[in-house]
Structure 1
Amino acid sequence: MPLILEASSLSLNDVHRFLKLEELSTGSFTDFLNFEPLTEFEQQDLLGIQNDFRRYLRLGKISEGLVKFLTIAPLMRLAGFYDVPIRLTMEDSVAIAVEDEDKRITGRMDILAINNPQSNVASTFWILVIETKNSAIEVSEGLPQLLTDAFKSLEQQSSVWGLVTNGLRYQFLYLRHEQQPTYQLMPLLNLNESAGAIELLQVLKSVCKLVSFQE
């Protein structure tokens, strides 16, 4: 019987070793995505999200649930993730058999955006995997869980975007499977910085549109 490992208990080195993952040098969003200018409406809505988060942050630590409610949900709506043919799921379980080892890694991803299986897309396509933490936890602590969850998608597609956030900071990564699985971290974005918030929404909008290329 295989040894069951919880993804949340693994270190980054564990994930690299078990999944044979290699980290590449920090990437650039524009190597993979095309940004569009934000409309005036989008900028105003984004400012409201920033202000709401700042107001709660001044009161102290923001729980993981509130991070989803205050930032992830409105940002994803604004970026287009609530529209057809995308479907959002939450708290989905994943299990990965570790190659050449009698182990199995299990995890539970916070939010997954996929194409709607009943759309015209030929097969299920994972668009974005999101791991959230409370505002007091550094985003780097969520990377092992995020990488494990996102790795599952490589069974059926060649690449996927992932995001780990504590509400304030947003760390995107791009995971690929070519000769061997690799990933690149993207520049860290800060919701409280005007330029960072704008780029954050531009990234989400661009990732959201990737599903159209699978149709």
Structure 2
Amino acid sequence: MTKTKAITDAENRFGFVRIEDEQFFPEWCEELPTITETEKENLDVLRRRYIYHRADGNLLEGMVMLLLVSPLIAASGFYDPPFRIKAEESVNLLVDDGEEILRGRIDVLVLQNRLWVMVLESKKTTLSVLTAVPQALAYLMANPNSNLPVYEMVTNGDDILFIKVVQENTPKYDLSRVFAPFTSAKELYIVLQILKKFGQLVTPTNL
């Protein structure tokens, strides 16, 4: 796939329109399922473990997957029926300054290709997950279920961002706010709630 370096490139190439309306993407902030105190305690351990290893320097993609993403996927129930994991090919994301390449892997998590996770690897800690949005949009356009909303979680470990795309008629998208687990354990609590919400939306009874 051709690299897409800017959000405007993705918008122009695929006809994307950003819908900055809470009614378009309420899934990340409204009617989120509750999580138990045990789940919160497990997330606290996950966060402490990630911060401990992150303190030694930047983490490679595999470590981010091992320490953060995979436990979140498990806690969300995506390793269990009716969900299936399908690994996709690695992607390269070229940032605007032309000097850094973000290497990441997209994993299709949920049946019907309706929830994807992109894990980024970067040598520059200052790079935002927003850098990956253009390429994430491009890959979401390849989703075969164009009549259904599709969701994506993008993370470099330090930051987590959610994207929603609806392809019907004019391709539309919007972004959640960026969640930063470093700042507060509550950030990770909300991330798990959002993932659980997505799980509820993409189960067979909601297709």
Contact 1:129-1:146 at 8 Å conserved across structures: no
The structure richer in strand per residue is 1
Match of 1:149 in 2: 139
One-letter identity of the residue aligned with 2:200: K
One-letter identity of the residue aligned with 1:211: V
Match of 1:84 among 81, 85, 88: 81
Following superposition, the deviation at residue 50 of structure 1 comes to 0.3
Match of 2:108 among 112, 122, 127: 112
Contact 2:85-2:109 at 8 Å conserved across structures: yes
Gap change, CA 1:145 and 1:38, over 3 Å in 2: same
Following superposition, the deviation at residue 184 of structure 1 comes to 0.7
The secondary structure found in structure 2 opposite 1:189 is coil
The 2-side partners of 1:28 and 1:132 are apart by 28
Following superposition, the deviation at residue 180 of structure 1 comes to 0.4
Task: Show structure 2 runs of 5+ residues with no match.
Answer: 92-103
Match of 1:158 in 2: 148
Structure number, greater radius of gyration: 1
Gap change, CA 1:21 and 1:109, over 3 Å in 2: farther
The 2-side partners of 1:131 and 1:15 are apart by 17
Match of 1:67 among 51, 55, 64: 64
The secondary structure found in structure 1 opposite 2:114 is strand
Q: 1:43-94: CA deviations, max 9, x gaps?
A: 1111111011100111011111211111110000001000101111112489
Following superposition, the deviation at residue 157 of structure 1 comes to 3.2
Contact 1:79-1:208 at 8 Å conserved across structures: yes
Gap change, CA 1:91 and 1:126, over 3 Å in 2: closer
Match of 1:41 in 2: 38
The secondary structure found in structure 1 opposite 2:143 is helix
The secondary structure found in structure 2 opposite 1:6 is coil
Task: Show structure 1 runs of 5+ residues with no match.
Answer: 95-107, 116-124
Instruction: Tell me the TM-score normalized by structure 2.
Output: 0.81
The secondary structure found in structure 1 opposite 2:42 is helix
Match of 1:99 in 2: none
One-letter identity of the residue aligned with 1:23: R
Gap change, CA 1:55 and 1:109, over 3 Å in 2: closer
- Taking only the aligned residue pairs, the percentage that are identical comes to 23
The secondary structure found in structure 1 opposite 2:84 is strand
Match of 2:165 in 1: 175
Following superposition, the deviation at residue 114 of structure 1 comes to 2.5
The secondary structure found in structure 1 opposite 2:197 is helix
How many residue pairs get aligned? The number is 188
Match of 1:54 in 2: 51
Gap change, CA 1:80 and 1:189, over 3 Å in 2: same
Match of 1:134 in 2: 121
Instruction: Tell me the TM-score normalized by structure 1.
Output: 0.78
The 2-side partners of 1:29 and 1:91 are apart by 28
Contact 1:27-1:187 at 8 Å conserved across structures: no
